[in-house]
Amino acid sequence: MTRDDLRNVAIIAHVDHGKTTLLDGILRQTGSIETRKATGDRMMDSNDQEKERGITILAKNTGVSYGDHFINIVDTPGHADLGGQVERILNMVDGALLLVDAFDGPMPQTRFVLNKALELGLHLIVLINKIERPGARTEQVLNDVYDLFIELGANDKQVDFPVLYTSAKEGYALTKPGDSPKDLSPLMDCIIAKVPPPSAAEGSFQFLVSAVDYDPYLGRVLIGKVSRGKVSIGDQVAHINADGEVRTSKISALFGFKGLGREPRESANSGDLVAIAGIPDATVGETLADPRDPEALPGITVTQPTLTMTFRVNDSPFAGTEGKYVTSRHLRDRLYRETLADVSLRVEDGNTPDEFRVSGRGQLHLGIVIETMRREGYEFAVSRPEVIMKEEGGQKLEPVEELILDVPELYMGSVMENLGGRKGDMEEMVPLGSGRTRLRFSVPTRTLMGFRSEFLTQTRGEGIMTHAFSAYRPYKGALRNRNQGVLVSMGQGDAVAFAIWQLQDRGKFIIGTGTLCYEGMIVGLHNRPTDLVVNVQKKKQHSNVRSANRDDNILLAPPVQVPLEAALELIEDDELVEVTPESIRMRKRILNESSRRTWEKKNKAG
């Protein structure tokens, strides 16, 4: 039996190819949201960081009515570092809309999400999006998509996918490029026709937890698909955890998804995507089942982390002055709580009670965790990210990224030279027209850290960069991570304009006048490869002797802004980033200068 009135689909694509914008158009045109609420763009991106960064971070569910059918739609993140969200969400659906930009074509994350969808046997609909964009290459991009399907081992049935041409921004879909644009009804009709309805499996209740949310009144809310049977409010259900232990709990609330919110429901049947409250300890990948027949479903497997870093209690002279949660107990509880909702994150106790090893899918993934905790009032310090090495057959392996760059031809030489020094191998060069070229490189993850800022500088801000994990390959040898040293504060106190002015020729400062500094805090970037200890608290000496010459005017260059992600890329192994709700500071691990020099000598001798 099947649920002919229901369809479950996900929207998958590379970052910034138009997933959330397309979903906005579907919500508006199906009347799933009130007109007064349908204001602005990317309505599904409700998280503060999503609005600021302009990307989808958390997968979100919605539902729309279309004719006699109800369609559950899941919006997924497009960035490669957030691929864990995509992997667990695809277990909930029977089909997927694969969006590909009509100008960019298939990108690294397109390959990742398509490969996962093919492995799960999902029915795919390909959307060539942004066809209104100047320079759109619809025919060439479609050929590239066919090539990607074949390269990933798709069978004959999977390669015979339906294609639509869409403009998410303008809100229309076409079955052929030359058709007159109207609305998104061709897309909705295609979903009904090509995506199979979920099976209405009879038997005892089964539900796989695919996501976890939190409600201040209901507590933990579990999101997933009813795989079999029926469930109602007040039912007793068996919670089967990852170790196979069974506990019985009562369902206190049940919700379906529609528009921008959730709708209370009395019951749910096989095939429905719902949110369940009342189960206090369940997490992603675990099963809810009938207590009379507690049968577990297969868990969710996600790609392992490739990057790790140390979170530790802040021990700087300013520790505890800006944060609300500062102890190791607070830090440990919060990090382990994050793993309950994020299955692609790993947390382990460190070498000391004040340290924790946190591993994730990439720098953005870990940066979002850090920023979220910072906004919640946590204060801590983090180390430089390190790649997770592997060893197979006695050979050391490291993670390698597929890097795609769109650059003006004028700057190609400098970019290629930079990546050559980072042990990158160029695999493809494709002219895009209008004086731009696409370069595809294979680059070790560790050498790619810090490249983005240099790339934007080299291309005068005109370059476009995207990358995703590719595979583990043989280790390529050591590489110096930073080609310039830092300016380190000698003492504690407010930075003085006169001192900064006197030191400006030594490098660029990242602090301004009046910034409170401490010994060992990084205050600037040195012009030379070595570190330099400076006195930014030095004041101009005054005397009773009048000078015939007028005092020099103090003109200070504006300080270089170093946001969180840039700070993580900039620091070396002997440095930390201090994170508080109010500040992002960089510092040396050993703050005292003489102790630091002693440690460096021992390190070299050892």
Question: What is the pLDDT at residue 479?
Answer: 73
Q: CB neighbours (10 Å) of residue 155? A: 10
Question: What is the pLDDT at residue 108?
Answer: 77
**Is the confidence at residue 221, as pLDDT, over 80?**
yes
Q: Over the stretch 442-475, which tens digit does the pLDDT of each residue have?
A: 999 888 887 887 888 888 888 888 888 888 999 9
Task: State the average pLDDT over residues 14-35.
Answer: 78
**Is the confidence at residue 563, as pLDDT, over 60?**
yes
Please tell me the distance from the alpha carbon of residue 241 to that of residue 208, in angstroms, as a whole number.
Answer: 11
Task: State the average pLDDT over residues 185-199.
Answer: 90
Please tell me the distance from the alpha carbon of residue 57 to that of residue 114, in angstroms, as a whole number.
Answer: 19
Estimate to the nearest angstrom the gap between the alpha carbon of 455 and the chain centroid.
20
Question: What is the pLDDT at residue 35?
Answer: 45
Same topology, domains 307-383 and 390-474? Answer is yes
Q: Over the stretch 282-293, which tens digit does the pLDDT of each residue have?
A: 888 889 999 988
Question: What is the pLDDT at residue 332?
Answer: 94
Whether the CB-CB separation of 389 and 396 falls below 8 Å is answered with yes
- At residue 139, φ and ψ (nearest 5 deg) are -70, -45
Mean pLDDT of the chain: 86
Question: What is the pLDDT at residue 38?
Answer: 47
CA distances from 46 to 26, 155, 274 (A): 17, 38, 19
Q: Regarding the domain delimited by 206-289, which CATH topology (the fold level of the hierarchy) does it fall under?
A: Elongation Factor Tu (Ef-tu); domain 3 (2.40.30)
CA distances from 337 to 86, 214, 245, 333, 340 (A): 20, 12, 20, 6, 5
**Encoded tokens for 294:** 């507690």
- CATH number of 307-383: 3.20.20.70, 3.30.70.870, 3.90.550.10, 3.90.230.10? 3.30.70.870
**Is the confidence at residue 410, as pLDDT, over 80?**
yes
pLDDT grade for 552, boundaries at 50, 70 and 90: low
Q: Regarding the domain delimited by 6-194, which CATH topology (the fold level of the hierarchy) does it fall under?
A: Rossmann fold (3.40.50)
pLDDT grade for 355, boundaries at 50, 70 and 90: very high
Please tell me the distance from the alpha carbon of residue 316 to that of residue 97, in angstroms, as a whole number.
Answer: 49
Radius of gyration for the chain, computed over Cα atoms and rounded to the nearest angstrom: 27
Question: What is the pLDDT at residue 80?
Answer: 64
Task: State the average pLDDT over residues 196-213.
Answer: 85
Question: What is the pLDDT at residue 535?
Answer: 93
Q: Of 577 and 31, which is predicted with more confidence?
A: 577
Q: How many CA atoms lie within 13 A of 147 on its CB side?
A: 9
Please tell me the distance from the alpha carbon of residue 443 to that of residue 469, in angstroms, as a whole number.
Answer: 10
Task: State the average pLDDT over residues 339-359.
Answer: 88
* Beta strands at 123-129 and 95-101: parallel, antiparallel or unpaired: parallel
Please tell me the distance from the alpha carbon of residue 201 to that of residue 264, in angstroms, as a whole number.
Answer: 23
**Is the confidence at residue 36, as pLDDT, over 60?**
no
Task: State the average pLDDT over residues 107-118.
Answer: 82
What is the dotted CATH code of the domain comprising 390-474?
A: 3.30.70.240
Partner residues linked to 349 by β-bridges? 356
Q: Where are the domains of the chain?
A: 6-194, 206-289, 307-383, 390-474, 486-541+554-568+588-605
**Is the confidence at residue 47, as pLDDT, over 70?**
no
Question: What is the pLDDT at residue 28?
Answer: 86
Question: What is the pLDDT at residue 551?
Answer: 52
**Is the confidence at residue 434, as pLDDT, over 80?**
no
Question: What is the pLDDT at residue 260?
Answer: 77
Residue 321, SS3 per DSSP: coil
Q: Which of 161, 163, 159 is nearest to 175 (CA)?
A: 163
Q: Which long-range contacts (CB under 8 A, 24 or more apart) does 536-539 make?
A: 536/489, 536/490, 536/495, 536/496, 536/499, 536/500, 536/503, 536/511, 537/489, 537/490, 537/491, 537/492, 537/493, 537/494, 537/495, 537/496, 537/499, 538/496, 538/498, 538/499, 538/502, 539/496, 539/498, 539/499
Question: What is the pLDDT at residue 534?
Answer: 93
Q: Over the stretch 467-519, which tens digit does the pLDDT of each residue have?
A: 888 889 999 887 766 678 899 999 999 999 989 998 999 999 999 999 999 99
State the CATH class of domain 486-541+554-568+588-605: mainly beta
- At residue 409, φ and ψ (nearest 5 deg) are -60, -25
Whether the CB-CB separation of 345 and 369 falls below 8 Å is answered with yes
- Residue carrying structure tokens 């800006």: 322
Please tell me the distance from the alpha carbon of residue 85 to that of residue 600, in angstroms, as a whole number.
Answer: 42
Least confident span in 23-32, 405-414, 522-531:
23-32
Q: What residues contact 585, with CB distance under 8 A and at least 6 apart?
A: 316, 521, 522, 577, 578
